[in-house]
Amino acid sequence: MNSVRMSEHSSGDGEAAHRSGCKLVTVVCEAAIENDIVSDLERLEAKGYTITDARGRGTRGVRDASWSSGANIRVEVLCDERIAAAIVQYFEQRYYAHYAMVMFISDVEVLRPEKFSR
């Protein structure tokens, strides 16, 4: 990843654990568009992602993961700043007008940063 801070912290067993700063992009959206989201993430160069069922209440009412047509998913992507910006920009343009979706970006530190670089 570009411009990533690397530091060493003790893991408690005398070994130094490497930590790397990166972005966590979180998308909560309708489960109906999961396949499109996955295709878009791959095209936007996300190395990986995690998808889980999500339930909650928002401006569009209560969303219950047990009913498939009303279900939401939570998509999490660890990536560098360039990919995070590309994901947010593309998803906002493609999905915001027609689907229930919220996104946020967090600064996080990741252990085993080699798993998230190309």
- Count of domains in the chain? 1
As given in the structure block, the two tokens for residue 101 are 């979706």
Single-letter code of the amino acid located at 72: N
Q: Which domain holds residue 87?
A: 6-116
Q: For residues 11 and 111, what is the distance between their CA atoms, to the nearest angstrom?
A: 10
Q: pTM, whole model, 2 decimals?
A: 0.77
**Residue 19's domain is classified under what CATH number?**
3.30.70.120
Residue 96 inside a domain? The answer is yes
Better-scored residue on pLDDT, 6 or 45: 45
Q: What stretch of H or E contains 75? A: strand 72-79
Do 78 and 46 contact (CB within 8 A), yes or no?
Answer: no
Do 55 and 63 contact (CB within 8 A), yes or no?
Answer: yes
Q: Is the pLDDT of residue 17 over 90?
A: no
Residue 1 inside a domain? The answer is no
Residue 31 inside a domain? The answer is yes
Q: Is the pLDDT of residue 51 over 70?
A: yes
Do 29 and 37 contact (CB within 8 A), yes or no?
Answer: yes
